[in-house]
Each structure stands twice: as C-alpha cells, then as structure tokens.
C-alpha cells in the first residue's frame, strides 16, 4: 500500500472484516492476517460466503456482487483470455479492477493449489466499492 491514507483506510476495513469473520465463522481464537486464505485457511463454505457478502454490504454500505468479491469467475476469465489470445493478467485486471496486476499474477501462480481468495482481496474490494464504483 503506497499512501498513508490508503493504509489507514485499509486498516479500518481489515479490523472490521476480522470482526465479521470471527462472528460468521466462529473462529475468534484464530489469527487472521491480510494473507489468510478465506477458503483454505478459514474453511469458509458457500453459505458462509453468501452471508459474508450480505454482511459486507450491510456493514460497509456498499454494493456487493458476489461473483466479483469472491473472484468466482477467475478461472473462467483466465480460460477466456487464453482462447481469445489475450494477455491473461491484463484481461483479468479488466474484469476485477480492484485487484492489482501483481496480485493477479500471484493468484495465477498458486491457483492449482486451490481457491486463492485472501483477506487482502476483500479489503481491496471494499476500498474499491467505497469509492462509489
């Protein structure tokens, strides 16, 4: 995170997300960092993600599209880019403007290990939507 303003904003969102996740997943004793994987580390299931989307919408007063915030179509977009002969990272960045290209490349490098959605991706999404996008 480059600027102080961004960092402070993200810290608030992070603290709130930790609180939400602790309540939803009943994991108050678990350490959560921006690098924590939502599905693999915290064991979030589909119903948890739905409830998380609803709670994020309500708590941050932002519009939430479930397929965006949870990167549901990441693999599909990756396939589309390849089929259309486009640069995959650039193509996915167009679909998920809240993710930096570095982060997209990082996800692609690990995607075979399972769902790569991290807490920091949720933070990015909330920040992006908070700008009224």
Partner 1 sequence: MSRHFSGNRALVLGGTCELALALAHSMIGSDLFPILTYRDDKGLNAIRESLRPFHGRYETCYLNFGDHASLDSIFTQIGDDLHFLVDFAQGNYESFVAGADEDSVYNYFMENISFRAAILKRAGRAMLKKRRGRLVFISSAAAARPNPGQGFYAAAKLASEALYRNMGLELGERGVTTVILRPGYIEAGRGRIYLQGQDRKILEMVPIRRAITGEEISQTILFLLSDGASAINATEISMDGGLTSGK
Say how far apart CA 5 and CA 10 lie, in whole Å: 9
Candidate list 7, 58, 79, 130; residue touching partner 1; CB under 8 A: 58
CB of 38 to partner 1, least distance (A): 18
Nearer to partner 1, 5 or 47 (CB): 47
Q: Are 74 and 92 in contact (CB under 8 A)?
A: yes
Cα dist from 33 to 57, 93, 107, 132, whole Å? 21, 24, 17, 26
Question: Cα dihedral sign for 63, 90, 122, 52?
Answer: positive
Q: Say whether residue 55 binds partner 1 (CB under 8 A).
A: yes
Name the one residue in this structure whose structure tokens are 């904003």. Answer: 9
Candidate list 8, 11, 15, 54; residue touching partner 1; CB under 8 A: 54
Q: Say whether residue 72 binds partner 1 (CB under 8 A).
A: no
22-51 residues near partner 1, rule: CB under 8 A: 47, 50-51
Q: Say whether residue 5 binds partner 1 (CB under 8 A).
A: no
* Residues of the shown chain interacting with partner 1 in the complex, contacts defined by CB under 8 A: 47, 50-51, 54-55, 57-58
């Amino acid at each position: 995170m480059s600027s102080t303003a961004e960092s402070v904003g993200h810290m608030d969102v992070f603290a709130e997300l930790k609180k939400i996740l602790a309540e939803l997943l009943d994991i108050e004793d678990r350490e959560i960092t921006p690098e924590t994987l939502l599905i693999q580390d915290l064991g979030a299931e589909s119903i948890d993600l739905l409830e998380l989307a609803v709670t994020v919408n309500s708590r941050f007063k932002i519009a939430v599209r479930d397929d965006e915030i949870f990167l549901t179509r990441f693999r599909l977009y990756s396939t589309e880019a390849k089929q259309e002969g486009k640069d995959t990272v650039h193509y996915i960045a167009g679909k998920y403007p809240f993710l930096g290209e570095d982060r997209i490349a990082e996800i692609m490098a690990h995607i075979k290990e399972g769902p790569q959605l991290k807490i920091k991706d949720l933070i990015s999404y909330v920040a992006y939507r908070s700008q009224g996008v």
